Amino acid sequence: MTSGQNFEQKSAGESGRLPPVIDGPVLNIAIMGLGNYGHMIADAMKYCKRAKIAGAISGSPSKIKEWQSKYSIPEKNCYTYENFDEVKNNPDIDAVYIITPNSQHHGQCLRVAAAGKHVICEKPMAINATEGQEMVDACKKVGVKLLIGYRMHFEANTLEIIRMRNASEFGAIKFFQGLCGFKIDESAKNRLNYETAGGGAMMDMGIYAINGSRYMVGEEPVWVTAQEMKTDPEMFKERVDESITFQMGFPSGAVASCLSTYAANFLDKFFLLGEKGFAEMQPATGYYPIQAWTHNGKLEMGHDSHQTTQMDQMAMIILDGIKPTIPVDGEEGVKDMKIIDGIYKAVKTGQKVMLNL
């Protein structure tokens, strides 16, 4: 039996828990973009069995020095944004995790793929579906993997709810609600700049509700409508959304109603309703322990570091060919980008936009 088959047998489809990390080779990863989340990923990999921080890529010499010291990274495995194509000739690095502003993902992914290294890219994978598809095509052309940083796809409570849905414990799914956002301040310059973020709250927070609606309902949406609210046009310039409510329809007749915002805190909630039961998560996507309930009571699935779990599982996807319960590949990312494109079009036109994922 291959490791991939073994994973599928022991996956969350049966127990709601991920399988044990399989012994095997280690994936050596260079982090591109040494900000707060880059540190979080690198710190999490200290506890991984199958993934290791092996390199660093940054435009800041001082950050490179800091990472060399903190994570014991040799100088030969450190690169700038200008010369990281040279990773092609470095056997110490197997993959590059791109954690830079959204607008940079596309070009950096193409360069990493051309260097023959696997790509892990933070979400959103790009600023539109066209860029996302070009990233998928570039990686396929040279035979490297492209994975998107969907850490919630490996979270135990999430997977248990999906197991229950697949076992028809909720009955036919009728409704999903996703509320995602926080109150941003003016110091978050990259997030409030269209040239770097490619949008506003939708790119940063709305993608959680978009992606969550798909894996919670278990279908692909076929239409979307959306409405934008902007109370502070000074902070939220043109093409940088402050708040968007959006609705999606699914082939079964299920509907989703979601909110993406930079204007309010305490918004991290999923609610799934079926004919026979429900599931609720709050917080639903944050870094801290996820809290979840169903019509049967509170779920007690425990909490492991999302990033440690993600990196070990992604290493096994790349090195062992395992198949996760919820995909994390580039095609999954493109589907979310198509929905975001549709939401922005619906906001602009005021009309229902049909989707073809």
Structural domain for 126, as ranges: 3-151
277 is a domain residue: yes
329: DSSP letter: B
Identify the three-state secondary structure at position 306.
Answer: helix
Q: What is the pLDDT of residue 16?
A: 54
pLDDT tens-digit map of 157-215: 999 999 999 999 999 999 999 999 999 999 999 999 999 999 999 999 999 999 999 99
15 and 63: one domain? yes
Q: Which of 104, 122, 151 delimits the end of a domain?
A: 151
Q: What is the pLDDT of residue 302?
A: 86
The amino acid that residue 127 corresponds to is I
Q: How confident is the model at residue 7 (pLDDT cuts 50, 70, 90)?
A: very low
8 and 73: one domain? yes
147 and 184: one domain? no
Q: How confident is the model at residue 132 (pLDDT cuts 50, 70, 90)?
A: very high
Residue 215 annotated as catalytic: no
Share of the chain above pLDDT 90, in %: 93
165 is a domain residue: no
- Report the Cα 268 to chain-centroid distance in Å: 15
Closest CA to 306 of 323, 290, 327, 329: 290
Average pLDDT estimate for 39-61 = 97
Q: Which of 151, 184, 208 delimits the end of a domain?
A: 151
Q: What is the pLDDT of residue 318?
A: 97
Q: List the structure tokens of 30.
A: 């260079």
307 is a domain residue: no
DSSP E strands in 137-242: the ranges are: 146-148, 173-181, 223-229
37 and 67: one domain? yes
Burial of residue 136 (number of CB atoms within 10 Å: 0-12, 13-18, 19+): buried
193 and 99: one domain? no
Residue of 52, 63, 123, 145 marked catalytic: 123
Domain count, the chain: 2
130 and 176: one domain? no
Contact, 306 vs 206, CB < 8 A? no
Closest CA to 286 of 151, 126, 184: 151
301 is a domain residue: no
306 is a domain residue: no
96 and 216: one domain? no
Average pLDDT estimate for 268-295 = 97
Q: Tokens 């998928």 appear where? A: 136
Q: What is the pLDDT of residue 325?
A: 94
Q: List the structure tokens of 152.
A: 């919630």
Domain containing residue 124: CATH number: 3.40.50.720
Q: What is the pLDDT of residue 14?
A: 44
d(CA 1, CA 10): 13
Residue of 97, 208, 215, 262 marked catalytic: 208
pLDDT tens-digit map of 70-125: 999 999 999 999 999 999 999 999 999 999 999 999 999 999 999 999 999 999 99
Residue 123 annotated as catalytic: yes
183 and 267: one domain? yes
Q: What is the dihedral of CA 14, 47, 98, 332, to 10 degrees?
A: 0
pLDDT at 155 exceeding the cut of 70: yes
Q: What is the chain's mean pLDDT, rounded? A: 94
Contact, 249 vs 222, CB < 8 A? yes
> CA dist 26 to 59, 80, 201, 319, Å?
27, 24, 36, 8
137 and 175: one domain? no
32 is a domain residue: yes
